Amino acid sequence: MRRGPLFAGLVVALLALAPPVDALAERRQVVHMAQHVALLNLAGPLLGVALPRRVLLRWVVTAAAAVLPVVVVAWHAPVLYERAVRVAAVHGVEHVLFVAAAMAFWFALTSPIRGENIVVLFAASLPVMVLGLGMTLSTTRWYAVYHEPLVRQQVAGAVMWGAGGAATVVAAVTLFYAWLSAATRSEHNRQASAPSASGNTSSAARSAHTT
């Protein structure tokens, strides 16, 4: 268990779910969306990275990449979204599923880190970006539970695709750096072991010749 990411993830989750923030999220859609971004793009990934590493099959990574956007998009359907705003218990279930899906996704994405996982990251984030963009460009209210001007919904959508997209880019750069560093270390280790193997072969040949 990696203590640094674990502690940081818990702090982000606690701040995002603190009673004052949670209460404000029930009345302000922008705050609600910022709360989602914090859980999906900060708390969940940090907690997922904190878990002990395991070597996973490719289909596990694919499944995790498919589950995350499905969970996010489903909870933004009006019937579920408005239910979550009105009922605290449903809102809590929503948050648990968001964090769990993000944790599973990032655990799979880094077990181990592969170059193609960067493509998986962007593929998984694309449906959420489209959802946020649709919310921004819409000229009608999506959720009747809010008594706010349409512009508040548009700003909330911009928070979803803007902040979420920025977090995805940062995550992709971080993944690429980690993958490149691991590949470089592996190559250095291979080159370092090559002379040793060659030397052992030469010594064996000299011994055979002397004998």
Taking CA atoms, 120 is separated from 58, 74, 136, 156, in Å, by 11, 20, 25, 25
Query: Above 70 in pLDDT, residue 161?
Result: yes
Q: Percent of the chain having pLDDT more than 70?
A: 91
Query: Above 50 in pLDDT, residue 167?
Result: yes
Q: What's the CA gap between 56 and 60, in Å, rounded?
A: 6
Long-range contacts of 53-56 (CB under 8 A, 24+ apart): 53/110, 53/111, 53/112, 54/107, 54/111, 55/111, 55/112, 56/108, 56/111
Tens-place pLDDT, residues 3-58:
889 999 999 999 999 999 988 988 899 999 999 999 999 999 999 999 988 888 88
Provide the whole-model pTM.
0.84
- Give pLDDT, residue 160: 93
What is the pLDDT confidence band of residue 112, given thresholds at 50, 70 and 90? confident
